[in-house]
Amino acid sequence: MKKLEILRRSKGLPRWKVAKETGIATITLFNVEKGKCYPNLKTAISLSKFFGVPIDDLFEVKGGEER
């Protein structure tokens, strides 16, 4: 489980609600959570603002790369 998904679940938020509130497509949020794609800057900023945490707290970094 990725940090973003853990945070979302800890707040009891369904993926669709986060997607709706941030304007991010649900499938994009799913793919970012599962590590299938990297978020663009706009998406990362939207999620950071929504959860009230720094971008670094949303994504795992391994060997200098996001995972």
Query: In order along the chain (67 residues), what is the average pLDDT of each group of 10 residues?
Result: 90 97 96 92 96 90 57
Q: Give pLDDT, residue 22.
A: 96
Element counts in the chain: helices (H) and strands (E): 4, 2
Q: Give pLDDT, residue 49.
A: 97
Q: Give pLDDT, residue 61.
A: 64
Q: Give pLDDT, residue 1.
A: 55
Q: Give pLDDT, residue 2.
A: 85
CATH 1.10.260.40 correct for 3-59:
yes
Helix (H, G, I), strand (E, B) or coil at 67: coil
Tell which residue, 3, 50, 52, has the closest CA to residue 22.
50
